[in-house]
Each structure stands twice: as C-alpha cells, then as structure tokens.
Structure 1
Amino acid sequence: MTIDAAGLLSRMFAAAVDAAAPAIRIPPNLPPAPLGRTVVIGAGKASAAMAAAVDANWQGPLDGLVVTRYGHAVPAGRISIVEAAHPVPDEAGLRAAEAILDKVQGLGPDDLVLCLISGGGSSLLSLPAPGISLADKQAVNRALLSCGAPISEMNVVRKHLSALKGGRLAAAAAPARVVTLVISDVPGDDVSLVASGPTVPDPSTRHQARAILDRYRIDAPRSVLEHLARPESETPKPGDPCFAGSLAKLVATPQRSLEAAARVARDAGITPLILGSAIEGEAREVGIVHAGIALQCAGYGEPLELPCVLISGGETTVTVRERGRGGRNAEFLLGLGLALDGHPGIAAIAADTDGIDGTESNAGAVLKPDTLARAAALGIDAEASLRANDAYGVFDAVGDLVVTGPTLTNVNDFRAVFVFGRS
C-alpha cells in the first residue's frame, strides 16, 4: 500500500478543525427567544464566527458586541465585532470589555444575554479589577505565559484580577437570564476555565491565585498582591443567586474533533488510537512520550499493529529559556523528532486548531522521517534549537510548517503520529 503520510495527516487536522466550526455547532444549540430583549456578547478566537452564526440563524431582534483576536473578525450583521490582542491584553481589549459590561446593564428577568465564549477570551476580555492597571495585568500575563504553568492555573490567577471573569459578568447581567455557548479549548472541558469563565460560577479562590504566583516565583506588582489580599477580590461561587436560571452549554470540544480525525484515518484503512484529549505537560517531554509509544508500535506491533496513528489533544506548555521562535506544537514535534532519531516509518503533525501556534504565524508543523536530516544538511543543530526554544526556525528552514491562517474556531492542540513502517 502506497501511503501519503503528510496528506493523511493534513486531512486529519482539517477534519478536527471542521468538526468545531461555529457555523455547524451554533445553530442547533441556540436557546428559545425571550419575551424581552436579546443581547449577544462574547470573547475568544472563535467569537466572531460564533456571532455570525447566531446572526444568520436568530429570527427575532437582537444586538450585541463580541471581541476577538486581531485577524479573526468576520461580518456578523447585527452584532458588532471588535478586535484586540492575544495572548497579552491591550487597550483595545480593555475598551471592548467596558463596552460589553455596558451592554448588560439595566436588563430585566425577561431579557436574554447570549454569551459566546471560546479560547483566548481571557486576554481579549480584559477589564482589570479596581486598583490594578492594564500594565500591571499585562506584566502578570507575560510572566504566566513563560513560566510553564498549565492553562488551569493561569486562569485561576486571571479570574481574580478581573472585573468580569470568574462569573462577574453574569453578576453584572443579573437578573437577566444568561445562556453561554462554549467552544472548549481546555483540558477536561471545564467551562469555568474557558476564557476564565466570565458567566459561570468559580470554584477557585483568591488564596489559590496567590499560591500559584508564589509557586512559579512570579514577581507580581504590588497592586496585584494588595488586591488578592482583600476579600472583595473573591469571585462568585456555585450557588450564588446571580446564576439562577443561567445555563452554560458546550457546543464543541477537543474530544469530538479527535473523533472526527480518527474517522478519517479509519476510512483510509489506518487504525487510530486516541491517547487522550486533555494531555498536558512540557511540550518537548510530551513529544518524547509520544515517540516511545510510536516506536513500540513500529518495533513490536503493540499496542497497535501497523499501519496506525496515535492521536491526542490538550494543551502542552513551554518553559521559555531563550528567545527563539517557538510555539508549543513546533516544540512538541522537535522533541518528538529528536527522540525518533530519523525513524523512516513514522511521521507526525502537531498544530493548534485556531491556526496560530502561540504567537507565530503558523498553525504548527509536520515532522517527516527526513525533516531533521534536511535541517542538518542546512547546518541547523536541532538539539541546540530545542534548547533555544527555536523549533519554529527548524521547521521553517525545511519548509515543513503548517500555515492555515485563522480558522475561526479553537478546540486547542491537535497531534497525530502516523506509524506506517518498521526501521
């Protein structure tokens, strides 16, 4: 059987992205129209596409505003779209958050707030808590992004430094009914963590937020530490009356996208194995683990006979040591490639379903059996590049980047390791 490894991996990634398309996932999950007003708000990399799907399928009157990442806007009819910075918040995000807060003021119990939430909303919906400046919040965000903390811990901190996140936006909208449609990008699909849960109860505490700052030795500004020391920094908890009658619904998840990719493999006669949709850890180390499983398949036919493909999702982390051009998916692949040591029968893809790997312009990359050999022929030391957090540079030099542009959805990272031959 002739196998186009790169072609199969690309089709699997496309299927994973398509399974989370807002145009498909939003219409069947829309709530009934209310007796009163319908106000649409939202934040995230997919929020503009979600808003467009609402506008196209909502029969009654509505108005609203959502904020998305620069380059991710699409026309959404009656719903205004604002672009702002990600992953570090900026002034545009602050102004958008203020406008969203204004949109939900003065509503009554017959009104509906339809909130559209997807990954990236934590930085896009950025209204610092009283006493904290945007600059101070930016400093904390930068430190969190480079320290290797998982998204769950980063968002605990973000919730407690915000005037909107951690359920505070729902409190501001009360007594209106709030229905939140969520495209999940977090391991475990905890809706309180997606975009730091602006409209859902927050079980975490300010004490946990302070402990996370201490654990990663983050030198937080004085305003942040003073805020976390005050009881009013606590977020609304489960059971708070502000959540009465409100609902949060997952409309797209990483697991569904992995299942869609597995069907592509199965249709091609390749046996898929989903390792997990919530895999976390240092990207390069997760790559080593995936390499170990792939080599076991290639060498011993277990846990799967060849040809097979190992599929996983979740969100790895990168502890930034130097100033190379990285991206967690590229760093995963470089760690994987070094561990595979040029195995001729294994190829892989790793890419972010939003089309952006970290802060770079690519979604991720493809690792072919000869990728690192071609890099070496160009004088590139792959091990040195990994130490420098410069995985992007390796894959860019050999033409193995995956570039899609913004996909307008986000169910986090997609990884597939295709084992098709023995050494």
Structure 2
Amino acid sequence: MDRPLLEELFRHAIAMAQPGLAVKVNLPPKPAGKTIVIGAGKASAQMARAFEQAWDGPLSGLVVTRYGYGERCERIEIVEAAHPVPDESGFLAARRIMEKVSGLGHDDLVVALISGGGSALLPAPAPGLTLDDEQLINRALLASGAPISAMNLIRSQFSAIKGGRLAAMASPARVATLVVSDVPGDDPAIVASGPTMAISGTRALARKYVGLYGVILPAAAQRLLDGDTNPAPALDDPRLAANTVRIIASAALSLSSAADMARQHGLEAAILSDSIEGEARDVAQVHAAIAREIAQRNQPFRKPVVLLSGGETTVTLRGNGRGGRNAEFVLALAIAIDGVEGITALAGDTDGIDGTQDNAGAFVDGQTATRMRKAGIDPLTALGNNDAYSAFAAIGDLLITGPTGTNVNDFRAIIIR
C-alpha cells in the first residue's frame, strides 16, 4: 500500500512551508520609528508568532486568521474570523488594521504578513457597499468556477483595503510584505487580493471576468464596477515605491522538497506543474490520462514514478453536496482510473481544510469507485451533486490533518507502480 508514503510526502511538503524558519531569515531592516505588524490569512497567525519571536525590537500589531487557526502571541493581537465567506469579526478587524496603519511617518515600518485566505478575512467594503454585499460577492465568486486570479481581481474592485489600498493608507511609512503564496504562478499581488501591493489587472478586465464567469453581483456592486469610483493604486504609484515584497514559502518549494523525498524512497518524481488551474474534475481527467498512459505503456515516464502537481483548481457548483476542490479532484480521478491496477493517489489542501469540511483531501486508487458502489454510493451521482466528501467518508478514505499552520495551495501526488 502506498498511502502511508503519499501522506508522508504531503506532510513533508507542509513542513517545508511552515512560516517559522522562513520568517526568521526574511526580516526587514529595523526602522528608526515604530514597527506595526498587520496581516491576514490562514498562515498569518503562525507568521506573526514567528516574527514576534525573531524580532528583538519593540512592536505592536494585529493579525486576522481563520477560526481555529490562531496562535498565542505576546505583542501581536490575533483575531479569528470566518472563511471563505467573511463575517462581522473580519469586518471589525479590517477596520482596526486600517486605523493602525493610518497617521504613520517616514521613520515607521509596517510589516504585512500575508497568506492565502486573506481576501475573505479582510472584508472592508468600498464606499457605498456593505458587509452583506461583500458576502454576496464572495458567495457568487465561490460558485462561479473562476480561477483565483480572476476572483481576487474582482474582489479588489469592491474593497477599501485590497489592491494596494492598505499600503497607500500607510504611506509615507515603509511597508515590508512577507508572503506565503497559495496562488498559481506565485504573483504576490494576487495572494489575499494584495492589500499591500498594486494589482496589475484593470477594472475593465474585472468587468470582462464577471461576464465570462456569469458572476451575479449585488446592484450596488454592479454600479460601482460600471463606474470609476474607488480607484486602486497604480503599479507605479509613488506611495508604494519604497515598499518591499518577499515570497517566503510557495508550492514550488514544497513540491521540489516532496520530489526529493520520493527519490529517497526509490521513486522517480515528475513535477507536472506548481500552478495548475481549471475545473477540478477536468484537471483530474488530464492527470488520470497521464497516469493510465504510464501504467499501461510506461510512457511518458517509466514506472515506478510519482506525479506531483500544485496550483488551485476550482469547482463550479452544480449540486448541494459537501466537499472541496481536492475531494472533487480525487472523486473524478477515481472514476477515470476505475479498475486500473497500480495507481494510488492523494490530493489535499495544504492548510488542512478542503473547502468547508474537516478534511484536507482524500485518497484514491483503482478500486475506489468499486468500494463506493459496494457502500451504496454511485460515484457519478456523487460527482454530479458535488458530494465528494460524503462519498469518501462512506469508505473511510478521507485525509484528515486539522489546521496545518501554513497554506501553499493544493498538493497532488499520484504513484504508479
């Protein structure tokens, strides 16, 4: 059985993305004035704890993370809020963060600890919008199947804090941003919708994405999108010129480390990509086709081999079942490799929570679909209803880790013997 090895690779990838050491070796220069730490994301509380332990000067600050992801800090306040749909706790935390960075001077430093999930955790509606509007926007985006880059460009249009607006508020203070990247391609401005970085997309492009993915917006948000109010800082905005950005953990680094571990176990490793996007069930079909080709024809890679990939797939909601994008991926994979011997796979979210359930992901092999049918679950029906969680729970194949303290997106590993 390859499941223990798959889980070992997954946990090793997570270990390589832990903020502790990465934060310590990426500290910004100390300022002559105050140091204010702010942040948002699923890994940001762990980043705050690591920063606090490594920083030997005075500091204060506030970081918001997902419920259940908090850490104990002495000088940085940790607030927990809702994800993926924002709530009042995140709304109040965002207002307090904006207050903390306002009125600073040239000698002051703002350290921004940003990780995936920060978009939902920093709800700050643009003028004319409400928290209810932002919640409706998030729900519409989550159901749309749009890639994360499109989602976050759209989100930034309706925010008082995203798209570099927070950094503009902090000016003339210097802003040093440390990023744990969960986005394909590791564009730091996309992570958490870039509160401290100007985003490259335009409002016109956001309008095109809304039409392309059929996103139904609240009336007030649609009026804002059609107009020119609430502009974001441009890429060359002088208020952001002295700021710095460093990616301290990413899917690319984690996948490379997992590949090294696989080779120590006698498996060749092939990293397909660290930035795969698309509908989870469609991405599963492509992965399954490659795995079957290897299993049956020993090409394009020779057995034994493990295929590794990362990125962030999406799910267009068609039913009312339970399950996130990784469970949907492996359910579609189970259907595509049904009856094929020698293939075992895992897909999981590196933050430990796949969607809104308690699992990180699930395991699959060539007999998974058969086991589901014996348990009274039709895999095709479950996939059509977006009910992957129930299907895997019925056969005991969920991967449950709890919150991991980091977030570098999806991790997929397929072993072919």
TM-score by length of 1: 0.97
2:76 to 63, 75, 79: 79
Verify: 1:355 aligned to 2:340, yes or no.
Answer: no
Contact 2:157-2:203 at 8 Å conserved across structures: yes
- From 115, 119, 122, the equivalent of 1:122 is 119
| Structure 2 partner of 1:150 | 147
1:44 equivalent to 2:44? Answer no
CA distance in 2, matches of 1:77, 1:399: 40
Confirm or deny: 8 A CA contact 1:115 1:179 kept in the other structure. yes
Partner Cα separation in structure 1 for residue 214 and residue 295 of structure 2: 42
Q: Is 2:195 the partner of 1:198? A: yes
> 2:255 corresponds to which residue?
258
- List aligned pairs for 1:155-194, cutoff 5 A: 155-194=152-191
Query: Partner letter of residue 215 of structure 1?
Result: L
Q: Which secondary structure state, in structure 2, belongs to the residue aligned with residue 233 of structure 1? A: coil
Q: Name which of 13, 18, 23 aligns with 2:15.
A: 18
Amino acid at match of 2:194: G
Q: What secondary structure, in the 3-state scheme, does the structure 1 residue paired with 2:123 have?
A: coil
For the 8 Å contact 1:205–1:234, the answer to whether it is kept is: no
Give the stretch that moved more between structures: 43-52 or 228-237. Answer: 228-237
Secondary structure of the equivalent of 1:316? Answer: strand
SS in 1 for 2:124: coil
- Confirm or deny: 8 A CA contact 1:65 1:80 kept in the other structure: yes
Query: Is it true that 1:391 corresponds to 2:388 in the alignment?
Result: yes
Shift of 1:344: 2.1
The match for 1:368 is 365
Partner of 2:410: 413
Q: Quick one: which of 35, 60, 65 aligns to 1:63?
A: 60
Select 2:302's aligned residue among 302, 305, 312.
305
1:55 positional shift:
0.6
State the partner residue of 1:224.
221
Please report how far the alpha carbon of residue 137 of structure 1 lies from its aligned counterpart in structure 2 after TM superposition.
1.2
For residues 347-384 of structure 1, the C-alpha deviation after alignment (integer angstroms, 9 at most, x for no partner) is 00000000000111100001133222221111111111
Opposite residue 102 of structure 1, the aligned amino acid is E
Partner of 2:331: 334
Measured against aligned partners, the alpha-carbon deviations of 1:63-103 in whole angstroms (never above 9, x if no partner) come to: 00000000100112200000011111111111000000011
Q: Say which SS state the counterpart of residue 159 (structure 2) adopts.
A: coil
SS of aligned partner of 2:389: helix
Q: Given the two structures, how large is their TM-score scaled by the length of structure 2?
A: 0.99
Question: What's 2:377 paired with?
Answer: 380
| One-letter amino acid matched to 2:173 | A
Q: How many angstroms apart in 2 are the aligned matches of 1:238 and 1:246?
A: 12
Contact residue 205 and residue 235 of structure 1 kept, 8 A = no
Shift of 1:228: 2.0
Residue aligned with 1:280, SS: strand
Deviations 1:217-236 (A, max 9, x none): 22211211222233232211
Are 2:286 and 1:277 aligned?
A: no
Could you list the runs of 4 or more consecutive aligned residues of structure 1 that deviate by over 4 angstroms after TM superposition?
none
Whichever residue aligns with residue 121 of structure 1, its letter is G
Q: Give yes or no for the alignment of 1:245 onto 2:255.
A: no
Shift of 1:304: 1.5
1:179: Cα distance to partner?
0.2
Contact conserved, 2:347 with 2:410, CA < 8 A, in 1?
yes
Give the C-alpha shift of residue 299 in structure 1: 1.2
1:301 CA displacement = 1.2
Q: Is the 8 A contact 1:206 1:233 kept in 2?
A: no
- Counterpart of 1:294, as a letter, is A
Counterpart-to-counterpart distance in 2, 1:168 and 1:303:
47
Flag structure 2 segments of 5+ consecutive residues without an equivalent.
none
CA shift, 1:190, in A, is: 0.6
- Mapped contact 2:337–2:365 kept (Cα < 8 A): no
Q: Which amino acid aligns with 2:318?
A: R
RMSD (Å), alpha carbons: 0.9
Asked if the contact 2:338–2:367 (Cα under 8 Å) also holds between the matched residues in 1, the reply is no
- In the TM superposition, residue 13 of structure 1 has moved relative to its aligned partner by 0.1
How many pairs align? 417
Deviates more, 1:9-18 or 1:221-230: 221-230
Instruction: Judge conservation of contact 1:49–1:76 (CA < 8 Å) in 2.
Output: no
Q: Higher mean Cα deviation, 341-350 or 114-123?
A: 341-350
Q: Alignment partner of 1:26: what SS?
A: helix
Q: Give, as a single letter, the amino acid of the residue that structure 1 aligns with 2:282.
A: E
How far residue 305 of structure 1 moved from its aligned partner, in angstroms, is: 1.3
**Which string of whole-angstrom CA distances, capped at 9 and with x for unpartnered residues, describes residues 291-348 of structure 1?**
1101111111112111100000000011100101121101100111111112121000
Q: Is the 8 A contact 2:160 2:230 kept in 1?
A: no
How far off its partner does 1:7 sit?
0.9
